[in-house]
Amino acid sequence: MNTLSKQSGFSRWVRIAVIGRNPKVTLMRIAVLIVACVAIFGFILLPIRVEGISMLPTYKDRSLNIINRLAYVRHEPQRGDVVGIRLAGPHVLYMKRIIGLPGETVAFENGRVLINGEVLDEPYEKTPCDWNCPPVKLGPDFYFVVGDNRRMPSEDHVFGKAERNRIVGKALL
- C-alpha distance across the termini of the chain, in Å: 56
Q: Which residue type does 74 have?
A: R
* Catalytic member of 6, 8, 54, 126: 54
In the residue annotation, 6 being an active-site residue is answered as: no
CB-based contact 96:170 (threshold 8 Å): no
Alpha-carbon span 143 to 100, nearest angstrom? 5
Catalytic residue among 96, 154, 161, 170: 96
Cis amide prior to 153 (ω within 30 degrees): no
The yes-or-no answer on residue 170 being catalytic is no
Q: Which amino acid does the sequence have at 75? A: H
Active site residues: 54, 96
